[in-house]
Amino acid sequence: MSSNIKVQRTCRYCNREFEARTTVTLYCSNECSKRAYKARKRAEKIELSKSQAGALRFKTLDDLNVKEYLSISETCLLLSISRWTLWRAIKNRTLIAAKIGRRTLIRRSDLNKLFEPQAPFPPEPPEEPLKPIPAENLRRFDITESYTLTEIQEKYGISESALANLIQRNRIPKIKKGWYTYVPKKMIDELLK
């Protein structure tokens, strides 16, 4: 049965005006109807996913409240902090952590003590002071009695970074001439023999 009714409506999807033939028509075309249906279904799925994620998060927080030992990621989730913040707290010794194999675990009681007022941990011992430079190292040396850095690497099979660390740690004097850096043979031979 056809209808002679003509009602001016606005499409709920594209907001264009159209002439409807029934009083219950919501969309201007079948295309707009399909697109609105897909958008509605997509919104329902997103809402369902959000509610499930929220329920899962509260469930995991309840599970974490029961555990005695927590991993780094569990502690971050429980305290709502980043991994770097937690690692800084461990490094600064505000929080005690134990390394077992490849895992780092934090005791729940230590985590609770973190929020109780108490005396801070004792500071770490100071680093070992640099050795004083012996008097014979301070004077200049002759280039004929010295190695270049490449000669040392080839002779002793040592890498460039290891050699640089060795020279810096032992405060070995260097002379730079042109492309080459020279160090005394006597000191290098004593260290690397």
Q: How many domains, in total, are found in the chain?
A: 3
Strands 17-20 and 146-148 turn out to be: unpaired
Nearest Cα residue to 144 out of 107, 104, 182: 182
Structural domain includes residue 173: yes
- What is the secondary structure of the chain as a DSSP string? ------EEEE-TTT--EEEESSSS---SSHHHHHHHHHHHHHHHHHHHHHHHHHHHHHHHHHHHHH-SEEEHHHHHHHHT--HHHHHHHHHTTSS--EEETTEEEEEHHHHHHTTS--PPPPPPPPPPPPPPPPHHHHS---GGGEEEHHHHHHHHT--HHHHHHHHHHTT---EEETTEEEEEHHHHHHHH-
* 172 shares a domain with 155: yes
* 140 shares a domain with 104: no
Structural domain includes residue 121: no
Structural domain includes residue 187: yes
What is the separation, in whole angstroms, between the first and last Cα of the chain? 107
* 77 shares a domain with 45: no
pLDDT in tens, the chain (193 residues): 456 788 899 999 999 999 998 888 999 999 999 999 999 999 999 999 888 877 666 667 777 778 889 999 888 888 889 999 999 999 998 889 999 988 999 998 888 888 777 666 667 777 776 666 565 555 567 788 889 999 999 998 889 998 999 888 888 888 888 888 899 888 888 888 7
* 46 shares a domain with 95: no
Q: Which tokens go with 156?
A: 């002793």
Structural domain includes residue 148: yes
pLDDT the model gives residue 111: 87
pLDDT the model gives residue 137: 53
pLDDT the model gives residue 134: 60
* 51 shares a domain with 32: yes
Q: Please tell me what DSSP assigns to residue 19.
A: E
* 14 shares a domain with 40: yes
pLDDT the model gives residue 139: 55
Q: What is the rounded CA–CA span in Å between residue 75 and residue 89?
A: 12
pLDDT the model gives residue 79: 86
Structural domain includes residue 166: yes
* 47 shares a domain with 12: yes
Structural domain includes residue 157: yes
Residue 53 belongs to domain spanning: 7-59
Residue that the structure tokens 């850096």 belong to: 181
Domain at 108, CATH number? 1.10.10.10
Structural domain includes residue 177: yes
Structural domain includes residue 126: no
Overall pTM surpassing 0.75 (yes/no): no
* 40 shares a domain with 14: yes
* 49 shares a domain with 77: no
pLDDT the model gives residue 121: 62
Q: How far is residue 159 CA from its own chain's centroid? A: 30
* 188 shares a domain with 151: yes
